[in-house]
Amino acid sequence: MASESPKLPPLPLLRALGMFRDALAALHRRLVPGHIALLEMQMTGFLAQAIPAAAQLGIADALAEGPRQPEDLARAIGADEDALRRLMRLLVSFDIFRERRDGSYELNSISQALRSEAPVTLRDLFLFFGSGYHRTHWTHLADAVRTGQPVGPAVDGASFFEYTAEHRDIGDLFDNAMTSISTLSVDPLLAAYDFGRFGTLVDLGGGQGSLLVDILRRTEAARGIVFDLPEVVKELSAHFEQVGLGDRLSVEAGSFFEAVPGGGDAYILKHIVHDWSDAEAERILRTVRAAMKPDATLLVIEIVIPKHGRPHPGKFIDLEMLINTTGRERSETDFGNLLARAGFALTRVVSTAAPDCVLEARPIR
């Protein structure tokens, strides 16, 4: 079984393939009757639960050692054989898993990403997306559009981060999902941006620290500090003792609305700014700026909403932000303005083969 990360195609090729796919899909939508196009798009919502179901059932892990006949697979994962065949028929029709001539199922390059031990694993992300908590929130999208407010306070009596801090089953699901999504972006980030040139990197809201672990393992960067809320980093020091980076990696607890560790050469905010409104994000950025040396660098890692009107992952995640947070996805102009208000100059925007960009900024003196 392959244990190396899938090779990344060059960025221009990825972009060209994406444009070709979008053009074909747009042509198809225009040629079929409108109601058919609409129905087809809505039906993919079922697929969005079929994929998490495969993750919940552990199908990809059960196929990790090789192909299995349906009855054997059903027994291994504790499922009804007929129902499993029906789920697999849909998934196979979308090239998620392969059905062999002898009727057995096997992994392909797409379903590899559903394995828990794959180098790029999205299993935990899909467990979160398929959870009752996440699905319930999405049923309130219309409310969020009416009010412009996240749905957590009305549905759970708490904001997203208050709720996940209090209910650690959901909090763990979310933290694991974030670690899972990091496996998707780490290779593209390291290929596109030289993190190794910094002495000390501070990852603010760094969750379980997987980004810094990967950076420190694969670059010359000297030291890393993971900073997050106390309940998130509670057991992280013990975990870090196992990862073999010694005192190159440490943990600090706190809130980035109050104070962050000083002395870093680069401060990373990955998928943080998009969680917050402009006013809140400005407060975070000002706190970071106050802790920064004049020559330190700020690295905001986020999706940047492009100018074109074609589909883009940022347009989906933006609605996720609307439902669950006070935040939003932003364009390059939005980021430039926000950073300027907090006392930073946006110096560079580096695209990667993942949806994320690295927005590099420096404090204005």
Ligand X SMILES: C[S@@+](CC[C@H](N)C(=O)[O-])C[C@H]1O[C@@H](n2cnc3c(N)ncnc32)[C@H](O)[C@@H]1O
**Rounded CA gap, 112 and 92, in Å?**
13
Q: Which of 232, 236, 288, 342 binds ligand X (CB under 6 A)?
A: 232
Helix boundaries (H) for the chain: 11-31, 34-57, 59-62, 70-77, 81-93, 123-129, 132-138, 141-147, 152-156, 160-166, 168-192, 210-218, 230-233, 236-242, 278-291, 313-324, 332-341
Give 7: exposed, middle or buried? Use CB within 10 Å, 0-12, 13-18, 19+.
Answer: exposed
Longest dimension (CA), the chain: 69
| Phi and psi angles of residue 84, each rounded to the nearest 5 degrees, phi first | -65, -45
Residue nearest to ligand X (CB): 205
Residues 194-213: x where in contact with ligand X by CB under 6 A, - otherwise, as a string? -----------xxx------
Q: Which of residues 320-349 bind ligand X (CB under 6 A)?
A: none
Binding to ligand X, residues 287-316 (CB under 6 A): none
CA distances from 246 to 114, 175, 206, 221, 232 (A): 31, 23, 18, 14, 21
The reply to whether 312 belongs to the active site is no
Candidate list 134, 137, 270, 330; residue touching ligand X; CB under 6 A: 270
Contact map string, positions 126 to 155, toward ligand X, x by CB under 6 A: ------------------------------
Q: In whole angstroms, how close is the CB of 265 to ligand X at the nearest point?
A: 18
Contact 270, 226 (CB under 8 A): no
Among residues 28, 274, 308, 312, which one is catalytic? 274
When binding is defined by CB under 6 A, the residue of 124, 187, 228, 360 that contacts ligand X is 228
The answer to whether residue 255 forms part of the interface with ligand X (CB under 6 A) is yes
Piece of the chain touching ligand X by CB under 6 A; list 242-250, 255-263, 315-323, 336-344: 255-263
Q: Is 178 in the site for ligand X (CB under 6 A)?
A: yes
Q: Using CA atoms of 265, 271, 275, 278 in order, give the dihedral in degrees to the nearest 10.
A: 50
Among 256, 267, 335, 344, interactor with ligand X by CB under 6 A:
256
Which positions lie near ligand X, rule CB under 6 A? 161, 178, 182, 205-207, 228-229, 232, 255-257, 270-272, 275
Residues catalogued as catalytic: 274
